[in-house]
């Protein structure tokens, strides 16, 4: 019997109603895929898309220089290795100190003003760093860069929270994180093709490009982003005491500090060191492993954010810790191998690690924004940024002690045990957080 593809007609007088029109299977699959991809695009205010664009631009600039700071200082400028570590740590220390002051200024002056201040400080710092020839010059430039970071991140988080509603914040945070990873990945590849240790000018060039990326970001903010100044009016007397009295929030930032210390800080320090020295993983493979992590985040961040919209946020935090538990167990298996096998297993490690990152980034920033009263949102964001700074400051030192001591064979299981503890901690946080903030944005 032939199929009719015209309009449906009422069945009557014994006439059978025709089947609905059917598309070929390949076209149906393409239509469904296109519809799913369209559904991933968040409905966000234009100002958020402007900030995300600026984030991507500055991330490309950061990607140019991120892998090369220590090489530039030691190989090109002749700074001793122990001094290199101190210089780089100066940025983290300045970020911690400036972030505290910056949070107060966000509440007084408005998020956009402090965003611009942070971008200008980073611009000046990277220009100076590119021309630094001595350790004191490099240290001063890193202090500028760190101060800029300390002002920038609380203000950007406050501004995004100000221009989005509760249902949009997870999408905005996820998009920001994906844009950051994409930009850094692209920038690192280009930077690796440009720099040469035999040409100091090539390093100066990439630092100038990085500085220019912050200037361009600032121009976009001035032209297209609202000030958010209304958040601060009439609340100049608010203080950090309000933040410290918020026990559920203080528990959340303590949780995040341990997450950063035991995951991000180890991925940047102990893991590549262990893999290179004890598992025979070549340097080029380490780059590919990092690329696998970045690629997974870029591809999976928005779908994962969409998938967990109905879950309580404490449950999503618990899932992120569970992903890191799996990650460290994969690492333990990799530690029993060598060379190519270890490299392949660490690629799986990097993907599992990215899953934990996606779950965390879709959850914890929006949760902080919902917990923060508008009058002191800058201070809340600064305290949250402080938890990152503490984790990144202490994590590499602890990881280095583990790799360099008799504990080394148990490193992977040690961090797996920490991740298991974080799973339990996240579930307990759920009982202490206000229900209105803990519920997922689309929870029934």
On whether the CB atoms of residues 170 and 362 are closer than 8 A, the answer is yes
Cβ-based neighbour number of residue 215 at 10 Å: 16
pLDDT of 208 strictly over 90: yes
The tens digit of pLDDT for each residue in 303-339 reads: 999 999 999 999 999 999 999 999 999 999 999 999 9
3-state secondary structure of 227: coil
Q: What is the pLDDT of residue 299?
A: 94
pLDDT of 96 strictly over 60: yes
CATH 1.20.1250.20 intervals, the chain: 45-229, 238-444
Nearest-angstrom CA–CA distance, 235 and 251? 25
The tens digit of pLDDT for each residue in 374-404 reads: 888 999 999 999 999 899 888 888 988 888 8
Residue 113: HSE in the Cβ half-sphere, 13 Å Cα cutoff: 15
- When pLDDT is cut at 50, 70 and 90, the band that residue 368 belongs to is very high
pLDDT of 206 strictly over 80: yes
- Please give the average per-residue pLDDT across 189-209, as a whole number: 88
pLDDT of 72 strictly over 90: no
Q: pLDDT higher for 234 or 403?
A: 403
Q: What is the pLDDT of residue 205?
A: 93
Nearest-angstrom CA–CA distance, 255 and 250? 9
3-state secondary structure of 427: helix
Residues 6+ apart with CB under 8 A from 39: 306
Q: Which CATH class name applies to 238-444?
A: mainly alpha
On whether the CB atoms of residues 376 and 389 are closer than 8 A, the answer is no
Residue 199 DSSP symbol? B
pLDDT of 17 strictly over 80: no
Domain covering 45-229: architecture? Up-down Bundle (1.20)
- Please give the average per-residue pLDDT across 181-197, as a whole number: 86
On whether the CB atoms of residues 48 and 174 are closer than 8 A, the answer is no
Percent of the chain surpassing pLDDT 70:
88
Q: What is the pLDDT of residue 20?
A: 53
Name beta bridge partners: 196: 199
Q: What is the pLDDT of residue 207?
A: 95
How far, CA to CA in Å, does 64 sit from each of 118, 181, 211, 212, 230?
19, 13, 11, 12, 37
């Amino acid at each position: 019997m032939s199929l009719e593809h015209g309009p449906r007609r009422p069945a009557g007088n014994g006439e059978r109603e025709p089947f609905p029109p059917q598309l070929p299977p390949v076209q149906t699959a393409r239509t469904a895929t296109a519809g799913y991809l369209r559904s991933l695009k968040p409905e966000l205010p234009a100002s958020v898309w402007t900030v995300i664009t600026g984030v991507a631009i500055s991330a490309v600039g950061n990607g140019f220089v991120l892998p090369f700071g220590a090489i530039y200082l030691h190989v090109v400028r002749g700074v001793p290795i122990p001094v290199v570590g101190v210089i780089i740590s100066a940025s983290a220390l300045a970020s911690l100190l400036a972030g505290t002051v910056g949070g107060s200024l966000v509440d007084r002056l408005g998020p956009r003003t402090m965003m611009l201040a942070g971008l200008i400080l980073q611009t000046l710092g990277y220009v100076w760093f590119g021309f630094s020839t001595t350790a004191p010059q490099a240290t001063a430039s890193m202090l500028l860069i760190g101060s800029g970071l300390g002002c920038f991140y609380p203000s950007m988080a406050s501004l995004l929270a100000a221009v989005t509603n509760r249902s949009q914040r997870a999408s905005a945070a996820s998009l920001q994180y994906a844009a950051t990873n994409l930009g850094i990945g692209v920038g690192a590849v280009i930077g690796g093709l440009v720099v040469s240790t035999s040409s100091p000018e090539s390093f100066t060039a990439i630092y100038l490009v990085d500085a220019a990326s912050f200037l361009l970001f600032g121009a976009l903010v001035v032209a297209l982003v609202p000030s958010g100044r209304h958040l601060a009016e009439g609340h100049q007397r608010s203080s950090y005491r309000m933040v410290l009295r918020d026990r559920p929030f203080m528990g959340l930032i303590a949780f995040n500090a341990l997450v950063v210390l035991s995951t991000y800080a180890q991925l940047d320090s102990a893991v590549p060191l262990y893999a290179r020295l004890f598992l025979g993983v070549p340097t080029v493979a380490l780059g590919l492993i990092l690329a696998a992590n970045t690629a997974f985040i870029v591809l999976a961040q928005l779908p994962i954010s969409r998938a967990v919209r109905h879950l309580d946020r404490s449950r999503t935090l618990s899932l992120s810790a569970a992903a890191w538990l799996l990650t460290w167990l994969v690492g333990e298996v990799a530690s029993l191998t060598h060379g190519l096998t270890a490299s392949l297993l660490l690629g799986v490690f990097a993907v599992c690690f990215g899953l934990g990152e996606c779950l965390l980034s879709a959850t914890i920033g929006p949760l902080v924004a919902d917990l923060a009263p508008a009058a002191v949102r800058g201070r809340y964001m600064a305290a949250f940024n402080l938890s990152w700074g503490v984790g990144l400051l202490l994590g590499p030192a602890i990881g280095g002690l583990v790799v360099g001591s008799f504990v080394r064979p148990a490193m992977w299981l040690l961090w797996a045990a920490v991740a298991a503890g974080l799973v339990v901690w996240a579930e307990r946080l759920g009982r202490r957080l206000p229900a209105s903030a803990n519920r997922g944005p689309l929870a029934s």
